[in-house]
């Protein structure tokens, strides 16, 4: 947001303080400033001069030699302009001036000295096009020797305020509000308050009709006669231009001017157009789905039912707080208008902004939450400004409308001890009173107890609790005045948080040992995504209206991880992601929230990949990594069991079971789910119920399973058998474990094969068994004995050897 120091000086004598003091106080006590720069300083080097004589250039037919004066000195200028004559007042860029990329220098043109350049409006960046040198003879305020910057009222400092730092302060989104704040902080008087403007309304002018309802906090309209559509006067044009607002005409410009001055948007309707609709009967109501009308920006968006409109005789003429309609706008021939001054609920305006995609200067202010009692004072101020800006015969009817909360007051109760404890200082009651009264708060003491009446321009959302008063006192006094002191606190041993401890361990193992990348996702997702892994009827809908794709709290981490894979599938050949996150359910506590550790892996395997060997190898590789993770947290006694899940491929999903309790899942995501997320690769997804894992880890961590390494060489036995195509490879390893072979340390699948000479419906699975002896070196006889035992076990259970 841009603010003019010259404009703010109308309300408080800020220029008496000095720019450095103002900027320092703003930075310490008010908000962040991105810049404070002179406006168009290059125009100081463009002076108004009078042409005293003109003669042809001796060596160029299209050039003239002009003798000009600025009142104190004369200059000779060579110009190619054909629209100048003796006696004209024109702008002269003197040597040293910089106009855009061009620097004006003393020069010679065809042997004749030229000390500057006569300028057009285009060359001064004041117009898109111009037909010659700017003739200033009839321009108000044009005087010989005056700079163009002074003529245009551009002699000013423009503050560029960081909008993010004042989102909670709608009272600062205007020149008067900001000047009032600075006056309070710098102990200056407020010398003019536009909200106290007076106007004599004409009781003979017919009143517009306004239908009262609860769709606006306040809404007033006034019929205005005697309007003349003209260019705005120089002061108004300059102030709007300095704030980046496009100049249109003297009526529309005043609407923008009042908004920048007082922070309250207004709107003018063409009265004759409203009358052609059957009379003037204004109402704030909601749009009908698909309804559309032309707006000022030439767009005609299809409207949703939650968008708030202004209607006349039931027909839409504006989107409330956002933008007016094109047909009902003030025209060049308008002589009668209707002025609207209203305050709408900020939530309604925010919805309109989101649903239409339109962010106007008005809506930016409305969405912060404005004070409803400003609507009538704004009308009076606007009428005074319209009269000053060319509508000298202006007459206006008594405003008609409603205000729902005219007597709203916010009182805050606290005490001096609370304030001093929060700030860490010792302030007296007099210190507190001085600061709060400067900030326009009403102060009442009863002993140590303090009662504060919040000013209306701060009481809606900004200052509502005692802590807000502490902030007001602290920032005004200056946080830099608070002495730094060591914190005195009892040092206690922190309570051990097992969940956080295990979370760190798992994150470290996933990222460090397994080379996974951690991701963070929002807890919001669409209702459709909540059907992927869970019951959508248990979805928790977000009360604050959100886009459809973020309408509910997620009940699974699967959709989020699939979207992460989709984002990266064209960038990396191998994707390994994990996330710690919560899921939410519309159930009584404690079942309404669960925490999961989920992970997703995608190799260079397309959805159409039909090589089962490759897919099985990928799956076994991931499973082995997860098993190493379980081993790292001392979880040894578990089993993988086949279990169908709707989001998994029917032939590729496992359940991780500990003590007959499911604590995790692992499998290939169902192709239909992959298609719905536009995924091109096969994805392996798994998750752990974190609370169950914490419980098991807590029980196991106290049990020592340490076994010193054997000093004798290890041995391995490989065994290949035929099993069914859909049979679980774990079955044979579980049978081997049940044999309780003393030297058996571990066993796993290291290779699978189907096709070739392997019978149809079968696959060849190769197992590797690791043997460790802690007492002596293995002999060939003992290895053969164990190998024979494994072969016998396989045959006894119907497995054929390969």
- Judged by phi (left if over 0) then psi (alpha if -120 to 50, else beta), residue 678 lies in left
DSSP letter string, 144-166: TT-BHHHHTT---EEEEE-GGGG
Q: Is 617 annotated as a binding residue?
A: no
pLDDT of residue 270: 97
Low-confidence ranges of the chain (pLDDT < 70): 545
CATH code that applies to domain 41-152: 2.40.50.140
* Nearest CA among 662, 595, 599 for reference residue 626: 599
Nearest-angstrom CA–CA distance, 385 and 268: 14
Q: Are 439 and 469 in contact (CB under 8 A)?
A: no
Nearest-angstrom CA–CA distance, 518 and 516: 7
Give phi and psi for 216, each to the nearest 5: -140, 150
- Alpha-carbon Rg for the chain in angstroms: 40
Residue 463, SS3 per DSSP: coil
pLDDT of residue 642: 86
Q: Which residue carries 């007051």 as its tokens? A: 409
pLDDT of residue 65: 93
Instruction: Give residue-wise pLDDT tens across range 392-420.
Output: 999 999 999 999 999 999 999 999 999 99
Instruction: Give residue-wise pLDDT tens across range 458-505.
Output: 999 999 999 999 999 999 999 988 888 887 888 888 888 889 999 999
Residue 70, SS3 per DSSP: coil
Q: What does DSSP assign to residue 416? A: H
Q: Is 156 annotated as a binding residue?
A: no
pLDDT of residue 274: 96
Cis upstream peptide for 558 (omega within 30°): no
By the 10 Å C-beta count (0-12 exposed, 13-18 middle, 19+ buried), 475 is classed as middle
Q: Is 480 annotated as a binding residue?
A: no
> What are the structural domain ranges in the chain?
2-39+156-192, 41-152, 196-403, 410-481, 498-700, 715-801
User: Which value, to the nearest 10 degrees, does the dihedral of the CA atoms of residues 19, 22, 25, 30 take?
Assistant: -130
User: So what's the architecture of 2-39+156-192 in CATH?
Assistant: 2-Layer Sandwich (3.30)
Q: Are 271 and 298 in contact (CB under 8 A)?
A: no
* The CATH fold of domain 196-403: Phenylalanyl-tRNA Synthetase; Chain B, domain 3 (3.50.40)
Residues 6+ apart with CB under 8 A from 623: 640, 654, 666
pLDDT of residue 613: 76
pLDDT of residue 491: 85
Same fold, 2-39+156-192 and 410-481: yes
Q: Are 599 and 668 in contact (CB under 8 A)?
A: no
Candidate CATH numbers 3.40.50.20, 3.30.56.10, 1.10.3330.10, 3.30.70.1400; the one for domain 410-481: 3.30.56.10
CATH code that applies to domain 498-700: 3.30.930.10
CATH code that applies to domain 715-801: 3.30.70.380
* Nearest CA among 458, 448, 373 for reference residue 413: 448
Give phi and psi for 568, each to the nearest 5: -105, 0
Q: Is 472 annotated as a binding residue?
A: yes
Nearest-angstrom CA–CA distance, 664 and 678: 26
By the 10 Å C-beta count (0-12 exposed, 13-18 middle, 19+ buried), 411 is classed as exposed
Helix (H) or strand (E) holding 57: strand 46-57
DSSP letter string, 695-722: HHHHHHTTS----PPPSS--EEEEEEEE
């Amino acid at each position: 947001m841009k603010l003019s120091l010259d404009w703010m000086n109308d309300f408080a004598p800020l220029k008496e303080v000095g720019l450095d003091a103002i900027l320092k106080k703003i930075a310490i006590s008010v908000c962040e400033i991105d810049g404070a720069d002179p406006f168009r300083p290059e125009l100081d080097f463009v002076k108004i001069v009078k042409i005293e004589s003109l003669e042809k250039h001796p060596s160029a037919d299209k050039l003239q030699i002009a003798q000009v004066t600025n009142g104190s000195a004369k200059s000779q200028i060579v110009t190619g302009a054909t629209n100048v004559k003796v006696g004209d007042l024109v702008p002269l860029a003197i040597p040293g001036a910089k106009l855009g990329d061009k620097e004006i220098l003393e020069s010679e043109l065809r042997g004749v000295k030229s000390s500057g350049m006569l300028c057009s409006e285009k060359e001064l960046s004041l117009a898109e096009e111009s037909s010659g040198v700017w003739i200033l003879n009839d321009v108000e305020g044009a005087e010989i020797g005056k700079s163009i910057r002074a003529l245009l009222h551009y002699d000013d400092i423009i503050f560029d305020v960081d909008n993010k730092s004042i989102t909670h302060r709608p009272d600062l989104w205007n020149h008067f509000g900001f000047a009032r704040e600075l006056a309070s902080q710098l102990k200056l008087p407020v010398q003019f308050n536009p909200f106290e403007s007076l106007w004599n309304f004409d009781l003979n002018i017919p009143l517009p009709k306004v239908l009262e309802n609860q769709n606006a906090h306040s809404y007033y309209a006034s019929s205005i006669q005697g309007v003349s559509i003209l260019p705005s006067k120089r002061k108004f044009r300059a102030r709007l231009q300095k704030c980046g607002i496009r100049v249109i005409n003297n009526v529309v410009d005043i609407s923008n001017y009042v908004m920048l001055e007082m922070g309250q948007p207004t709107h003018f309707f063409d009265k004759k157009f409203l009358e052609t609709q059957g009379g003037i009967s204004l109402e704030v109501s909601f749009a009908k789905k698909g309804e559309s009308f032309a707006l000022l920006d030439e767009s005609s968006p299809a409207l949703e039912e939650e968008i708030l409109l202004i209607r006349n005789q039931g027909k839409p003429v504006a989107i409330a707080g956002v933008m007016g309609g094109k047909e009902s706008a003030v025209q060049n021939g308008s002589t009668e208008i209707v002025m609207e001054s209203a305050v709408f609920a900020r939530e309604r305006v925010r919805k309109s902004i989101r649903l239409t995609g339109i962010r106007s200067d008005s809506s930016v202010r409305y969405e912060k939450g404005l004070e409803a009692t400003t609507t009538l004072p704004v009308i009076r101020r606007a009428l005074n400004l319209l009269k000053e800006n060319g509508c000298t015969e202006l007459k206006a009817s008594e405003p008609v409308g409603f205000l729902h909360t005219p007597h709203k007051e916010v009182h805050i109760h606290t005490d001096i001890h609370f304030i001093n404890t929060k700030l860490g200082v010792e302030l007296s009651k007099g210190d507190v009173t001085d600061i709060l009264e400067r900030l326009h708060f009403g102060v009442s003491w009863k002993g140590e107890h303090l009662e504060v009446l919040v000013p209306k321009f701060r009481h809606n959302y900004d200052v509502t609790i005692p802590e807000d008063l502490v902030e007001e006192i602290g920032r005004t006094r200056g946080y830099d005045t608070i002495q730094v002191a060591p914190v005195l606190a009892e040092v206690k041993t922190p309570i051990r948080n097992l969940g956080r401890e295990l979370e760190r361990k798992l994150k470290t193992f996933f990222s460090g040992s397994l080379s996974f990348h951690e991701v963070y996702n929002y807890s919001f997702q669409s209702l459709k995504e909540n059907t992927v892994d869970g019951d959508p009827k248990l979805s928790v809908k977000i009360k604050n209206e959100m886009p459809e794709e973020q309408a509910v709290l997620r009940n699974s981490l699967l959709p989020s991880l699939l979207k992460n894979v989709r984002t990266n599938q064209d960038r990396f050949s191998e994707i390994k992601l994990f996330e710690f996150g919560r899921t939410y359910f519309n159930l009584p506590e404690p079942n309404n929230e669960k925490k999961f550790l989920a992970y997703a892996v995608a190799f260079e395997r397309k959805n159409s990949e039909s090589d089962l060997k490759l897919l099985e190898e990928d799956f076994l590789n991931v499973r082995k990594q997860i098993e190493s993770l379980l081993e790292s947290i001392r979880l040894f006694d578990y089993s993988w069991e086949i279990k169908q899940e709707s989001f998994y491929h029917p032939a590729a999903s496992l359940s991780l079971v500990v003590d007959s309790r499911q604590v995790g899942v692992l499998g290939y995501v169902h192709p239909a789910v992959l298609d719905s997320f536009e995924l091109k690769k096969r994805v392996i997804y798994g998750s752990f119920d974190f609370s169950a894992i914490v419980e098991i880890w807590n029980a196991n961590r106290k049990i020592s399973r340490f076994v010193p390494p054997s000093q004798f060489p290890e041995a391995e036995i490989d065994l290949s058998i035929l099993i069914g195509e859909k049979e679980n490879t774990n079955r044979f390893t579980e049978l081997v474990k049940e044999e309780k072979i003393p030297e058996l340390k571990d066993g796993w699948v290291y290779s699978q094969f189907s096709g070739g000479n392997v019978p149809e419906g079968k696959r060849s699975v190769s197992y590797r068994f690791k043997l460790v002896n802690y007492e002596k070196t293995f002999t060939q006889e003992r290895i053969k004995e164990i190998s024979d035992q494994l072969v016998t076990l396989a045959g006894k259970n119907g497995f054929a050897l390969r």
